[in-house]
Structure 1
Amino acid sequence: MTHTKEELDEILAFGTSLARKAGDKIQAAFLQNKNIQTKSCNTDLVTETDQQVEAMIIQDIKQCYPKHKFIGEESVADGLKCDLTDEPTWIVDPVDGTTNFVHRFPYVAVCLGFCVNKERTLGIVYNAVSGQMYTAIKGHGAFCNGKPLKVSSETDLKKSLILAEFGSARDQESLDFVFENLRSIISTPVHTIHCMGSAALNICAVAAGQAEAYFEFGIHCWDYCAASLILDEAGGVSLDTEEGELDLMARRILAAANNSIASALSSKLVHKRLPRD
């Protein structure tokens, strides 16, 4: 199945409107006290807003595009299979940066990726607090609030700002793995490493030329589907951490301004394979 540019423009208009609608719900709850629950561990947080926003997004998609499939973070957490087929499929993260949301740190995004034939075709990442709307259609560039995005021209890892995350796991083996990679990178030495708490917005920061690279192990397709297309369309590269083709189900990503940065960063990392989505 293929879509014309006009059809994709219509889907993008629908998706950005839906993202703003979801963002309104997030903004309304942002400064309020939250009902916080946990999923895999006591640092893997979910709120009523995550669940309510995803339910609203899926309902609106079903009403407008009844034949489209979806993969949603909270739906998968509730037991729905994470199944990416050739059918038009929305990959949804209702609140990327839930811990930020809980603590009122303004780095929180609605993520809507759209895949056809298992390929990333359209991406929307909306910072619900700042109002930054990142968008891309495959082959047609990337934008933030309508203005074109362009990655950094820096090619030297030593002169780079790198984004990374600790993740939610706190067992000793997981922590040792994270710290080994952070130590390797900071001792390169790079200019600095920042941990901002949202995979999607980290990738969009690379797309906007605000950082040279981001990497993470253990995330999920809804964290990076939409944003990785935005980065690619801004002139950057979204790869597997070992520099192979990006795999949406492999739960690891290396997002960089260019192949030089990606290769240098990959060579510094200890790699591991994870259970697939």
Structure 2
Amino acid sequence: MSDWTECLKFGINLTKQTSEIILNAFKQQKQVHLKSSQADLVTETDLRVETILKSAIRDKYPVHRFIGEESVAAGECVELTDSPTWIIDPIDGTANFVHRFPFVAISIAFTVNKQMEFGIVYSCVEDKLFYAQKGRGAFLNGEPLNASGQEDISRCVVVTEIGAERDDLALSTMTSNIFRLLRIPVHGVRALGTAAVDMCQVATGGADAYYHIGMHCWDIAASSIIVQEAGGVVMDTDGSPFDMMSRRVIAASSTAVANRISQVIQAFPCRRDDEDQCRCICGGKGVNSV
């Protein structure tokens, strides 16, 4: 069995270096474009960061494969194979980035044989580096992470997002899910605007659960192993095993909490990330200026 520690260290160093581009652009005026909806944004910084990350990784590991948010938006395949694969979100929280709301992350996951080997989430403005390697624990700025272990849903803080899906069915489903959770009741529902950082809150113990429908594999792949290595659980919103391509996830402090959330929330239909292998997530219409 291969040890992918060298790749992890390379990814961490590259993430920190590339974050300087995001930080330098954070307070500047941005040229914003639309992808799948009025709430699904992309900037030149997203494109630049992904290009730099992929170029540097390809130079170091020329046989490795990639799944990148902006590459997929431009029409590249979403295809997870057994080959070593880097799953990249150059800026998770682009709307935050555009509005200077200080939760903006680079998210990088690494899979081999379709299994997660490590994940890196760097919350750039906060200077918080979350990372985990399979079987070796999860860490925040070098300190071990532990999920809360909470088993009582009525004592939980839950994190979620409305997301970029804005049709009537998606909006009514997502708002109804929040209503049903608050009626349990849970202690509170929170949102930071970046799925990767949201999910990492479960690993820190600061939140007890996270769920979402409609995100993509690059949003949650890295955080999924961080939560699991911190002692949390990750599953589909219907209670089945986690599938990063399904666009549905619950991450929780315990199986009991995850199962309770799966009994309460509902999912709206959304196409899998690996459905129609070479597709453009913006429906083939390209990227439009705002």
Q: TM-score, normalised by structure 2?
A: 0.93
Cα contact 1:136–1:229 (8 A) shared by 2: yes
Deviations 1:13-42 (A, max 9, x none): 100011111211110001111111110111
Question: Share of identical aligned residues, percent?
Answer: 44
Is the aligned partner of 1:135 residue 2:134?
Answer: no
3-state secondary structure, aligned to 2:103: coil
Is the aligned partner of 1:271 residue 2:267?
Answer: yes
Partners of 2:159 and 2:121 in 1: CA distance? 17
Residue of structure 2 equivalent to 1:35: 31
Residue of structure 2 equivalent to 1:117: 113
3-state secondary structure, aligned to 1:227: helix
Is the aligned partner of 1:241 residue 2:240?
Answer: no
| Aligned partner (choices 76, 85, 101) of residue 97 of structure 2 | 101
Shift of 1:172: 1.4
3-state secondary structure, aligned to 2:172: helix
Structure 2: which 5+ runs fail to align? 274-290
| Aligned partner (choices 22, 46, 51) of residue 50 of structure 1 | 46
Shift of 1:153: 2.6
Partners of 1:272 and 1:240 in 2: CA distance? 13
Cα contact 1:122–1:138 (8 A) shared by 2: yes
Partners of 1:258 and 1:275 in 2: CA distance? 28
3-state secondary structure, aligned to 1:214: strand
Residue of structure 2 equivalent to 1:203: 199
Deviations 1:120-160 (A, max 9, x none): 11100001111111111100000001100000132111111
Residue of structure 1 equivalent to 2:2: 3
3-state secondary structure, aligned to 2:221: helix
3-state secondary structure, aligned to 2:234: strand
Cα contact 1:217–1:251 (8 A) shared by 2: yes
Residue of structure 1 equivalent to 2:250: 254
Which portions of structure 1, spanning 4 or more consecutive aligned residues, are displaced by more than 2 angstroms? 271-274
Cα contact 1:113–1:122 (8 A) shared by 2: yes
Alignment of 1:78-227 (within 5 A): 78-227=74-223
Structure 1: which 5+ runs fail to align? none
Partners of 1:168 and 1:275 in 2: CA distance? 14
Cα contact 1:71–1:92 (8 A) shared by 2: yes
If asked which structure has higher relative contact order (CA below 8 Å, sep 6+), I would say 2
